[in-house]
Amino acid sequence: MSIVFFGELMLRLSPPGRELLLQTPKLKVNVGGAEANVATGLACLGHKVRMISAVSDNPLGGAVIGELRRRGVDTSTVVSEAGRLGLYFLTPGAGLRASEVVYDRAYSVFAQRDASSWDWDALLEGATRLHLSGITPALGHNTAAAAIAAAEAAGARGIPVSFDGNYRAKLWESWDSDPKAVLTQLIGHADLLFGNHRDISLLLGREFSGDGADRRREAAEAAFAAFPKLQTIANTARHVDDADSHRVSARVDTRAGGYQTDEVLIAGIVDRIGAGDAFAAGVLHGLIESKGDAKAAAHAGLALTALKHSLPGDASLFTRADLAAFDEGGLDVRR
């Protein structure tokens, strides 16, 4: 029995340190992919997870599969086929210079695979939850249809679905997409949504007038009213002072009410890419361990996203011991 993740697996290429892209002829390589990042985060916390995806049948695809296996992710439902692996390039930010992403994922094996090629009867066997994100349907007609089919198949089998909005305008705008229609259909199958008031505004076509926690609760109540299956909404609020210093709080809303953490200062940021995926992994971990307690989920999500900012690469690699140490506080060397 495993939590199952469906999405694209990629490689991230970035210059060393805080250099601009190709400032010197060197690039660092990391395994990426939003859903895989959440899977990795949960695997490192001791949960059984399985990835559903398609990669190129060459050394690049093989390297991605090998890295996920080393991290404890079951890759038995990742297929290798002829074609290319999706890439993206990251120029890390510094000071008042923001990070920048360049996508090179068009016509990847995953994006090109026909939606009918996924056998959801077999792929969802033994699944305790299906996790999807808004990145998968943003890639094109094939992946949008596949994500909807996956969510429908899970719903038909009584498998809960979690969905991370992960809105990527550059991807949606690259084809004749209708993000509102597609995302509305997907979230209609979800019991757990990772998204904030801006995501909900996009879906419902309305603005929320409150401020801070009040606005987030107003948006959550509107989403609960619009989506009958939805039971939990989780998100973070981030205030960016500069590329190296952010202030972050976490919130989890249920139909009965909401819980919001205090804001924490995250300074000396090493890498913020994947911090949202780490938050999702932390919230899922907290909900599982606490049997649905919003406060426990919010604190676990905040802890894992805060820790992820200290780690190069896309995925959280922290353990339960790391979460416990974070909760205890104290930043001196642990000996």
For the annotated catalytic residues, the residue numbers are: 277
Q: Which region, left, alpha or beta, applies to residue 208 given φ > 0 means left and ψ of -120 to 50 means alpha?
A: beta
Give the number of other Cβ atoms within 10 Å of residue 119's Cβ: 11
User: Contact at 8 Å (CB) between 35 and 5?
Assistant: yes
Give the Cα separation of 279 and 247 in Å (integer). Answer: 14
Dihedral sign of CA atoms 73, 104, 123, 186 in order: positive
Instruction: Specify the 3-state DSSP secondary structure of 80.
Output: strand
Q: What is the CA radius of gyration of the chain?
A: 19
Sheet of strand 100-104: strand arrangement: 28-32, 10-14, 86-91, 100-104
Non-local (6+) Cβ contacts of 3 within 8 A are 39, 42, 47, 48, 49, 50, 127, 128, 129, 131, 284
Q: In terms of Cα–Cα distance, which of 286, 281, 333 is closest to 307? A: 281
| Inter-CA distances, 215 with 161, 202, 241, 257, Å | 25, 15, 22, 13
User: Contact at 8 Å (CB) between 159 and 127?
Assistant: yes
